[in-house]
Amino acid sequence: MRTWLTSLLVFSLCVAFAQAAELRPPAQVTAGTPFPIASNGTGEGTFYLIGPAQISKRKVNLGGEISVQGDEVEQAGMYTAILCADQCTSVHFYVRPAQTSRLSLLVHPSRVPVAASNAISAVAFVFDRFHNLVLTPQKVDFKVVPPGGAAISQSKTTANGTAWIRLTSARKGGPAKVGASIGDLAEMRVVQQVASDACNLRIKAVPGPKGIAVETEPVRDCSGNFVPDGTVVSFTKTDASGKTTVDAPIKRGVTQVEMAVSGPARISVASGVVNGNELSLGGAR
């Protein structure tokens, strides 16, 4: 009996020493915050910490707490802790982002026609101080200040660290301010709203030194905004010599060209997808 008990004790001790040391990380770990990992066993071992952006290695004493520094866990995500003595053991744990400390706002496009439905996109990204996306829901307050108009506000809750809205541009041209805020954090962008396509495009003609001088009335969009200088207007003349098209840019709100006419003629005008009126001429030269 004594021999049997002795053999059992020796076997148990061998099993105990052959078991790998255990690691017990905290249930929750926050980015950039130091914390301990509990271990068991005796003697010395090698500790490895593998994260999304770095790997650390050092000698540790088994049976106590292994201190992990804040700069070892600045990146949120899954980490693996490994402890090697006679054998190696590993444990996985997740590091969550720290508190919100940065807000980034993207607004597209930077230039948009007036009265364009859902033409502006504003996307807010919420980060902690280590540039991790804050995945817990956050309320983002969006604010739009159109030129010469009252501010419009709308709140959105983030999903996976982002929140976004779509906006219709104002009917009046000019710079519109688009902002987003969370508490004391705020970002602002400016969208230049420009005139849309020409509307009610009209021309008139008077005799010129080399033919007929054709000029547009001040070119505006349907909201009354002046179409930007440089926008191309096309004049098309049809007479006995055939069809001729002349393109000219808007200058100071109007466009003017001079066209030679052979006999009765028709002159029409267009800009982009917009057609204007047509003139019928009896035959000036």
192-211 pLDDT, tens digit each: 998 888 888 999 988 877 78
Domains and CATH numbers, the chain: 19-96 (2.60.40.730), 100-194 (2.60.40.1930), 203-281 (2.60.40.10)
List the structure tokens of 204.
């008139």
What tens digit of pLDDT does each residue of 33-77 get?
999 999 988 899 999 999 999 999 999 999 999 999 999 999 999
**What percent of the chain shows pLDDT beyond 90?**
69
Tell me the average pLDDT of the chain: 88
Does the pLDDT at position 79 exceed 80? Answer: yes
Tokens 């009896």 locate to 282
Residue 88 has pLDDT above 90, yes or no: yes
Listed range (14-18, 40-44, 187-191, 262-266) with the worst mean pLDDT: 14-18
pLDDT value, residue 171: 87
- Looking at per-residue confidence, does 23 or 6 come out higher? 23
Handedness of CA 209, 212, 216, 217 (dihedral sign): positive
pLDDT at 10 exceeding the cut of 70: no
Does residue 4 carry a pLDDT above 70?
Answer: no
* Angstrom distances, CA of residue 59 to CA of 21, 47, 52, 74, 77: 14, 6, 22, 22, 24
So what's the pLDDT on residue 20? 57
Q: Is residue 153 very low, low, confident or very high in pLDDT (cuts 50, 70, 90)?
A: very high
The bridge status of strand 256-259 relative to strand 211-216 is antiparallel
pLDDT at 178 over 60: yes
What is the per-residue pLDDT for 263?
Answer: 84
**For the residues 127-136, what does the mean pLDDT come to?**
96
| pLDDT at residue 13 greater than cutoff 60 | no
104 and 187 in contact (C-beta within 8 Å)?
yes
- Per-residue pLDDT for 230 more than 50? yes
